[in-house]
């Protein structure tokens, strides 16, 4: 769990630094949403595919 949290923090910082300041909030919010949806739906999709 710690690795996933640390990874999200590292990527969120990278996203925030790469995007212009006018779009930074939206970019970090979309990143967080996609990260959390991946954690929610990823295991279910893998289960269905196996």
The string of pLDDT tens digits covering residues 5-37 is 777 788 888 888 889 989 999 988 998 898 888
What is the extent of the structural domain holding 14? 2-49
pLDDT value for 43: 86
CB distance 12 to 26 below 8 Å: no
Q: How far are the Cα atoms of 29, 34, 39 from residue 14, in angstroms, in the given order?
A: 13, 15, 20
Q: Count up the domains in the chain and report the number.
A: 1
12 closest CA partner among 20, 22, 24: 24
Q: Check residue 1 and give its pLDDT.
A: 57
Report if pTM > 0.75: no
In this prediction, residue 2 carries a pLDDT of 63
What is the pLDDT at residue 22? 92
């Amino acid at each position: 769990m710690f690795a996933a949290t640390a990874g999200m923090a590292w990527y969120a910082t990278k996203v925030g630094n790469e995007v212009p300041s006018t779009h930074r909030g939206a970019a970090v919010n979309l990143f967080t949403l996609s990260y959390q949806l991946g954690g929610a739906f990823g295991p279910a999709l893998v289960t269905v595919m196996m």
